[in-house]
């Protein structure tokens, strides 16, 4: 699949920002933040950026595309499941470390 120059810059920026948010999340969790709280804030900030994007480009957003909604819902379930699994695994590991 070929991308034009603008799309390539958007994909590069999104990968960079995803890495930065993961680094910040790691720092916050090492500082004592709960993984579930960090995940919620990452999702909320992402939602705000997506909402801003939709407000800037209302006619070319693709919201009328049913396939987009299907894959978005599937991706949302995958991300939520991933966050839940990681959070529960961290809680289980912490509880086992605290038990004698």
**What crossing angle do the helices spanning 35-56 and 5-30 adopt, rounded to 10°?**
160
Q: What is the mean pLDDT of residues 31-39?
A: 82
Q: Residue 28's CB: how many other CB atoms inside 10 A?
A: 16
Q: What is the pTM of this model?
A: 0.57
Q: What is the mean pLDDT of residues 24-37?
A: 82
Q: Mind listing the pLDDT tens digit for each residue in 74-91?
A: 888 887 777 777 777 777
Question: For residue 99, what pLDDT is reported?
Answer: 58
Q: Mind listing the pLDDT tens digit for each residue in 47-65?
A: 888 888 778 877 777 777 8
Question: For residue 43, what pLDDT is reported?
Answer: 79
d(CA 58, CA 54): 5
């Amino acid at each position: 699949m070929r991308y034009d120059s603008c799309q390539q810059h958007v994909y590069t920026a999104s990968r960079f920002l995803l890495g930065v948010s993961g680094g910040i999340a790691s720092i916050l969790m090492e500082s004592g933040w709960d993984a579930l709280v960090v995940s919620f804030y990452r999702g909320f900030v992402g939602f705000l950026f997506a909402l801003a994007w939709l407000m800037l480009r209302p006619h070319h957003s693709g919201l009328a595309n049913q396939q987009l909604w299907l894959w978005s819902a599937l991706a949302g379930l995958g991300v939520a499941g991933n966050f839940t699994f990681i959070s529960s695994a961290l809680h289980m590991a912490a509880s086992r470390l605290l038990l004698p």
